[in-house]
Amino acid sequence: MNYKLKKISGDASFREFYRLKKGNKTSIIVQANKEKFKNLIAYAIINKILNKNKINAPKLISNHFQHNIIEITDLGEKSFYNKILKKNNKFHYYKDLIKIIFKLQEIKIKKNYRLGKYKLKLQKYSLQNLHRESDLFFDWYLKFSLKNLKISKVKRILKKELNKIYKKLYFKNNTFVHRDFHASNIMISKKALGLVDNQDAIIGNPLYDVVSLIDDVRIKLPVNLQNKLLKFYHSKSKLKSENYQNLKNDYDILSVQRNFKILGIFVRLSKRDNKSTYLKYLPYTWSLINRRLKNPIFKNFQILLNKHIKIKKLKKN
């Protein structure tokens, strides 16, 4: 039998991916020399959890963790991102993705998960987690965007206000969260939808994956479509009896938090990892942040933001 190995495009992690062709069959080789447990073992364990809950994800074929490699099933080359860009009635297609979020949120969380001798315990999205992620905005984005800014002072002032806002999150951290649920991580395989890049799953707020999908920095959705999708989620989810404004507040808070993190990560990818292609998403990321800052819950924060870092200037970066 002929074997062919071809490197394929990767993601923002330290992993490398290869498509292995064996005759008429293909599989994916995942290699990780850094953060091996998360990128290989945790990935395989989360994939197993998803498949057990009837959510399509890569299955583990063989584990060569000692050699920094695992082999998984191939979900194909076409992502939902490739499909949705050309579609006019995007709402119809996005509804299918929100239905996957419903399935994720039905997963009953266990204390520990195992793969052979390895054990994984899902973390909770604590207040410290939220700050650790949004700190990337100060430590990477601001540091490299505004050279003369006194980062430590601005960080202290804005972080204090962010802390007050994060404490206003209404819904509890009791839901299985994919954590990176967006169009590029959803593959179309034999007309079925499958999830990849699953290793960062966590226990968190039910609105987090909804934010990842609707406020995706890679796809510019109109405001009215974003609102329609959020209302669809509200009307069909386990939160349908909850006050919509509580849901909207959590959505806006988590969107700002996530997009601050993304600004930091994308600058870090450029400066540290020489992946400058991610910088093209910065303007729309700012657009999303400004869209969510219109919520009165951010009134004082926005005053501080404008005062200390001149948000209008940053929007152009």
CATH code, domain with 183: 3.90.1200.10
Integer Cα distance of 218 and 78 in angstroms? 16
Domain boundary among 23, 44, 73: 73
pLDDT higher than 80, residue 1? no
Task: Name the percent of the chain lying above pLDDT 70.
Answer: 96
**Over residues 195-214, mean pLDDT:** 97
CATH number at residue 34: 3.30.200
232 and 268 share one domain: yes
pLDDT higher than 60, residue 251? yes
Please tell me the predicted confidence (pLDDT) of residue 315: 46
pTM beyond 0.85: the answer is yes
Q: Quick one: residue 77, left, alpha or beta (phi over 0 = left, psi -120 to 50 = alpha)?
A: alpha
134 and 268 share one domain: yes
User: Cβ(182)–Cβ(262) under 8 Å?
Assistant: no
Please tell me the predicted confidence (pLDDT) of residue 10: 67
35 and 125 share one domain: no
16 and 141 share one domain: no
Please tell me the predicted confidence (pLDDT) of residue 293: 97
Q: Give the range among 90-94, 140-144, 189-193 with minimum mean pLDDT.
A: 189-193
Domain boundary among 40, 73, 106: 73
Q: CA angle, 304 as apex, 300 and 307 as ends, to 5°?
A: 140
Total domains in the chain come to 2
42 and 182 share one domain: no
185 and 304 share one domain: yes
Phi and psi, residue 233, nearest 5°: -55, -50
93 and 55 share one domain: no
Q: What domain range is 150 assigned to?
A: 80-315
108 and 188 share one domain: yes
21 and 87 share one domain: no
Q: Mean pLDDT over all residues of the chain?
A: 92
69 and 84 share one domain: no
269 and 250 share one domain: yes
